[in-house]
Amino acid sequence: MERYQFHACSRSVAGIRQGNEDACDVSRISHPSETFLLLAVADGIGGHPAGEVASRLAVRTLGEIVREQLSLIREPDRKSLEALMELAFQETNLRVLSVSEQEEAWQGMGTTLVAALINGADDCIIGNVGDSRVYRIGEHLERLTRDHSRVQELVEEGVLNSHEAERHPLKNIVTRIIGRKGDRADITSCRLGNARILLCSDGLLDGLTEQEILTVAGEQNYPAVCDALIEAARARSRDNITVVVAGRSGT
């Protein structure tokens, strides 16, 4: 089976906010069989204490668990990687909960978290809690995650259309977070092919439409694509903005 190499970039900025409650990471994880690429974005929940602590802890913990558990799998395949990702999100949630109980100022902290684990066979395993997103960028922009938010529920109930949802006053109300007992991740998988994968916090969508994201991303190579998306979103976004982009060498 042909194995592929991947380029990746990341960038996170405070935008118009005083502090940045987002966090992100790009890690290459060595395994006896091959090298894996792990991408992650987290967005500390506004209105909760210590959002920046929660997001950074979630990203760091997820990376540690994926690295540790991957080393225990002799021949990783898609099924085992999906189980690994589910476990990593569960353990990350427990860790954030545990740490929040140790400091009074951190009690109740929470964060969104999206992650993608990619192998050289082009398997892409995605985990998601909250309303940060994962997209496939090709000829079209395809959303690969479902927002865990009240507005998404209203869209699915037929109360709102997708255009109304983007500017709805309840847009920032999430229904699942890392940092709350029992909240679980959605785990999905896909193949990237010649497309790129984009992970982002909702600050990117506050500044750019999906069509604008597709246009900006399609005009840039690595690492300029991450800078271009951030700079384009800054003009209108009222939030922290974080992006991670990856794809096969040559895409």
- The pLDDT tens digits of the residues spanning 29-71 come to 999 989 999 999 999 997 667 899 999 999 999 999 999 999 9
- The pLDDT tens digits of the residues spanning 145-197 come to 999 988 777 777 878 777 766 777 677 789 999 999 999 999 999 999 999 99
Fold of 6-242: Phosphatase 2c; domain 1 (3.60.40)
pTM (2 decimals)? 0.94
Cβ within 8 Å of residue 169, ≥6 positions away: none
Residue whose pair of structure tokens reads 């847009």 in the numeric block: 171
Between CA 152 and CA 206, with CA 37 as vertex, the angle to 5 degrees is 30
Residue whose pair of structure tokens reads 């997708």 in the numeric block: 162
Cβ within 8 Å of residue 114, ≥6 positions away: 40, 41, 42, 126, 127, 128, 129, 130, 132, 133, 134, 145, 199
Pairing of strands 123-129, 186-191: antiparallel
Q: Where are the domains of the chain?
A: 6-242
- The pLDDT tens digits of the residues spanning 209-246 come to 999 999 999 889 999 999 999 999 999 999 999 999 99
